[in-house]
Homo-oligomer: A and B are copies of this chain.
């Protein structure tokens, strides 16, 4: 992990059975254990979306090429690196070598595999919205999207990825702004409470804004190597897409107005954040709320008879744990040693491991190891379920606290460009600095140091200062970092 963070990450993703590269360049296979974590994320987020009044829907995978040209910024940001469908049929190769694209089956207009769905959705909303009574529309979709990335990394940057994208339509600017803020709040809450991941909420600079947005809110997390990871965004799109797709409504006064919009999304990238924020050299460290297996039970035995007696007792314990709402696995495989099993569940980040041998049977005890600290203790079997249930909370809190302490220790205030470069090089993490607010300055800093403005924190205190690069006046600090 310390030697080669990038290699460590990739090995961990593969060895823990989360995902792997596929035969298709840039596309990953999400393996059952990884997908089980993603499903838990989806379930928690979906519930939060519904509790805030949103409904799910589904829009087409393909977008006509011409749709991208309708919003000028959007086409620059998205239409370039994308998968283009040009034909709709294959035929047998006349040379007998498999199949070839049938040149007679060329599409009149090429279709783009959606990199994001604003265009096709606003083209649809045009038919749904006529009066203020049709507003707001609060839709979300769970979908796959494709962006043709040249350098891909499992979960963090893949050509195809899974995500949700919310697309809402409102009668007023204020309502749309409030929606964009509400949803970044939902993401913050999810990151904090479920992923045990502390995040900074802030506005993106113009440079880093979503293509087509008037404002982009972001949650930024810090990985253990000191790099930042943008983990979710919520965009105030103003009337840009309504104008591009001519979506108007009759307001209460009977006048025609363009509709106001937001969009917001998180993706399987969150898996990368989860892995990089908490794991160690032994493997994954999963917060109990997202762990597919929360408790694993392992019998330590010699011979059939011991195994039978211990397994019976473990079955009872498992039943009690399950009745308390925990997800439990008993691993009684006889072809691998218990040491191998211990290592495997450490690798997989199972929050609590319980092991029972013949002496425990006699003593009424059980060996308990928590994954976050790797502390081992022998505890009484009596009251075990209550102990484990309460330990789940402890572990969830402890993982969060550890990540929060680390993150807080990695925010460095600097006042000069030299300090800035030194901090970036020697320590990494977030650098809190003054900036003159211009795109040019941000770009020059990026060129010279690779650091970008991760966000202008929403709780940034007003503070007069001078831009670290240009010395021009600045009214608050912003957070820089080198980012994934």
Contacts and interface: CB of A to CB of B under 8 A. Distances in A.
Given A87-B86, A90-B65, A111-B24, A58 B80 contact: no
A57 B79 contact: no
A58 B29 contact: yes
Contacts of A80: 89-91
A69 B99 contact: yes
A32 B60 contact: no
Interface string A119-137: 0100110010000010000
A85 B88 contact: no
A156 interface: no
Contacts of A36: 55-56
Contact of A83 (B68, B111, B162): B111
A406 interface: no
Contacts of A59: 22, 29
Given A60-B28, A83-B111, A148 B89 contact: yes
Nearest to A65: B99
A323 to B, nearest CB: 18
A113 B113 contact: yes
B82 A162 contact: no
A69 B88 contact: no
A30 B35 CA distance: 24
A101 B82 contact: no
Contacts of A29: 57-60, 124
A230 B60 CA distance: 24
Interface in A245-289: none
Interface string A68-94: 110000010001111111111111000
Given A59-B29, A88-B82, A160-B62, A23 B123 contact: yes
A438 interface: no
A24 B90 CA distance: 20
A81 B84 CA distance: 17
A148 B91 CA distance: 14
A139 interface: yes
A88 B58 contact: no
A106 to B, nearest CB: 10
B123 A99 contact: no
Nearest to A75: B99
Contact of A61 (B27, B55, B82, B88): B27
Contacts of A86: 84-87, 101
Contacts of A60: 22-24, 27-29, 160
Contacts of A31: 57
Nearest to A146: B61
Nearest to A68: B99
Given A35-B58, A85-B83, A89-B81, A64 B24 contact: yes
A409 interface: no
Contacts of A82: 88-90
Nearest to A148: B88
A315 interface: no
Interface string A339-357: 0000000000000000000
A331 interface: no
A65 B87 CA distance: 13
A374 B79 CA distance: 52
A292 to B, nearest CB: 9
Contacts of A360: none
A335 interface: yes
22 contacts: A22-B60, A23-B120, A29-B59, A30-B57, A30-B58, A32-B55, A35-B55, A35-B56, A36-B56, A62-B83, A62-B160, A66-B98, A68-B90, A80-B91, A83-B85, A84-B87, A84-B88, A86-B87, A101-B110, A113-B113, A133-B335, A143-B144
